[in-house]
Chain A
């Protein structure tokens, strides 16, 4: 048993862990100091990628945290148990299918010729709005983020629903007897009592937003004109397409630092706030 814990486990773990220490140095066989980082600071694509990750985080917090919380409260306020279950499950389906399938699906939805979106706009008389959604810089990033919200909101809604179910129903009954309406019940009972989950969701969402790769890769590969590059795709492109491993490792360090800060925030948060009933 001791052997198992001390030998097998670190062995498997080391595959993951040993890498995090040496990522800065392993990229280059020759020591170049901070050169890669200097290059990073002067790289316009890096900054726009960082901004795209930031936009991703903001919009995801709006929809997948705030929006999902409201949605979960709506679902849980329904009287019919069967409908609650059904809605939660249906909303979750996009999260069960992979980001790749969802990304490809939206690639086709945005596609100018056969895409559902342009045809839908024409059908409701908004033909003037049709455009190559992923083919132009102004709409591509938002298009990708929109897909990601479609794919992910059911997941956070489900988690919020579980958190809301843990709130003792007496609290709601007491509030209802006092004549407090549903909106105020939501603001004064639900929101404070799921704040632990809300905090975690914010943290997980930010952390996820800075690791985004899949959806961008599938839908635009970072184009047009690098306008949809995010840190992870720019890392991939730098390292594996342009063979600049050192530079890719420098980008990886940035992702590491961001996710580390977020993770420390999570530790601090869970230690501080525990909701007890």
Chain B
């Protein structure tokens, strides 16, 4: 073995130990969370490192009954509806921006994309007043509208970037054949955009599922509260019954982890397109 070969072997060993140590740093807390969800309170306080003596599904039942079922329903409902609304409106808008010649086209796209830069916290105070005035405060609609409005710029931006690269000839051919705008959009452009649509759906689901600021400020009672907010109230309401909170955390984390692993390819594409342009 040459000298450089020896050094590179050593550096490889170091690199691998570093990478694997990092895997432990990432995975162990998550594993700890899952295990704690199965423990009794005495076990948890006795030795936080020990494995649970038995798989205690009761914590999940308790968590479920203490509101997690409601939080879960609210989360699913808001996530599904806002995803459909956001992706649909954004695709339609992106179509308009890339395919239709119109006056002030540049201004409109500037306005839409400018929304990318607006921090939600900045709009918080006026939004609360506005929603209170409209009677939508503490309703499901508040979250649906906010999640949709605040994610349209980003989603439109992604879909638009993809549509620009699509050949126009197909659209034009359809129009020559007498297809309406709507038919062209629905039957031709949208199917061609399938990959980016899937990416945006996944990104939006992650966003809506995990969002906290709006959910916390705009909702207060069980029934409209989503999981992230629900979890914090689960902790504050029931004192030291921590294993139940851990169970709730697993319920909140599991769907998105599964979604991520199931759709990694689209997901990575969406992320890299989103930031790279």
Using a CB–CB cutoff of 8 Å, the interface residues on chain A facing chain B are 1-2, 4-6, 8-10, 12-13, 15-20, 22-23, 26-27, 71, 74-75, 77, 87, 89-94, 96-101, 104-106, 108-109, 113-116, 119, 123, 150, 154-155, 158-159, 162-163, 181-182, 196-197, 200-201, 204, 207, 210-211, 213-214, 217-218, 231-232, 235-236, 239-240, 245, 248-249, 252-253, 255-256, 259-260, 263
Contacts and interface: CB of A to CB of B under 8 A. Distances in A.
Nearest to B114: A17
A255 B122 contact: yes
Contact of A100 (B108, B181, B212, B275): B212
A197 B276 contact: yes
Identify which of B18, B122, B252 gathers the most chain A CB atoms within 10 Å of its CB.
B122
B108 A5 contact: yes
B171 to A, nearest CB: 12
B111 interface: yes
Nearest to B252: A101
Given A16-B123, A16-B150, A116-B29, A5 B11 contact: no
Interface residues of B, number: 85
Given A10-B111, A106-B29, A119-B48, 9 more contacts: A1-B181, A16-B150, A90-B23, A90-B27, A96-B259, A98-B227, A108-B36, A158-B268, A201-B275
Q: Binding site of A, secondary structure by majority: helix, strand, loop or mixed?
A: helix
A5 B124 CA distance: 26
Q: Binding site of B, secondary structure by majority: helix, strand, loop or mixed?
A: helix
Given A20-B118, A97-B256, A116-B29, A27 B125 contact: yes
A8 B89 contact: yes
Contacts of B140: none
A1 B137 CA distance: 32
Given A90-B23, A96-B256, A260 B275 contact: no
Nearest to A165: B272
Contacts of B149: 12-13, 15-16
Interface in B92-136: 92-93, 96-97, 100, 102, 108, 111-112, 114-115, 117-130
Contacts of B268: 158, 162
Nearest to A252: B122
Interface of B: 4, 8, 11, 15, 18-19, 22-23, 25-27, 29-30, 32-33, 36, 44-45, 48-49, 89, 92-93, 96-97, 100, 102, 108, 111-112, 114-115, 117-130, 145-146, 148-150, 152-153, 181-182, 206, 209-210, 212-213, 216-217, 227-229, 231-232, 235, 242, 245-246, 249, 252-253, 256-257, 259-261, 264, 268, 271-272, 275-276
A56 to B, nearest CB: 14
A184 to B, nearest CB: 13
A108 to B, nearest CB: 7
B102 A5 contact: yes
Contact of A104 (B32, B89, B245): B245
Contacts of B8: 182
A153 B129 CA distance: 36
B256 A98 contact: yes
Contacts of B124: 235-236, 239, 248, 252
A194 B229 CA distance: 38
Contact of B125 (A9, A116, A252): A252
